[in-house]
């Protein structure tokens, strides 16, 4: 819902309001457009912060013969099955 609101609805609303203010004299039009832009900025940052929230790290260790993958989870493993998607960082040769 936040993604739809910040990426589609608020820009459409701001554009329509801008077009209407070109033809009609509306008091405080710049202030209203500024508020719409701030709302879009806040919801955009919420979306970006949600996008880069990791569930853990995939550690990759390798030697001459084998490659070992291990998971370091940020939460209890039982919570993973309730999530719609998970995102992991990849760390090669962790110390």
Domain check: are 87 and 72 in the same one? yes
Domain check: are 8 and 46 in the same one? yes
Domain check: are 46 and 15 in the same one? yes
Domain check: are 39 and 13 in the same one? yes
Whether the per-residue pLDDT at 16 is higher than 70: the answer is yes
pTM, 2 dp? 0.49
- Convert the pLDDT of each residue in 17-50 to its tens digit: 888 887 888 788 888 888 888 888 888 788 777 7
Residue 1, pLDDT score: 60
Q: What is the largest CA-CA distance in the chain?
A: 75
Angle among Cα 91, 78, 87 to the nearest 5 degrees reads: 35
Q: How far apart are CA 26 and CA 82, in angstroms?
A: 49
**Residue 81 is part of which domain span?**
56-92
Domain check: are 10 and 44 in the same one? yes
Q: How far apart are CA 10 and CA 20, in angstroms?
A: 15
Domain check: are 9 and 45 in the same one? yes
Residue 56 Ramachandran class (φ > 0 left, ψ -120 to 50 alpha, else beta): left
Domain check: are 42 and 76 in the same one? no
What is the number of structural domains in the chain?
Answer: 2
Banded model confidence at residue 95, pLDDT cuts 50, 70, 90: low
């Amino acid at each position: 819902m936040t993604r739809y609101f910040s990426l589609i609805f608020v820009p459409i609303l701001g554009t329509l309001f801008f077009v209407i203010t070109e033809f009609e004299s509306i008091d405080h039009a710049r202030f209203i457009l500024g508020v719409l832009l701030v709302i879009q900025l806040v919801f955009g940052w919420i979306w970006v912060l949600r996008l880069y929230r990791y569930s853990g790290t995939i550690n990759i260790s390798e030697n001459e013969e084998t490659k070992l993958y291990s998971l370091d989870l940020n939460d209890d493993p039982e919570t993973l099955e309730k999530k719609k998607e998970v995102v992991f960082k990849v760390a090669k040769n962790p110390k």
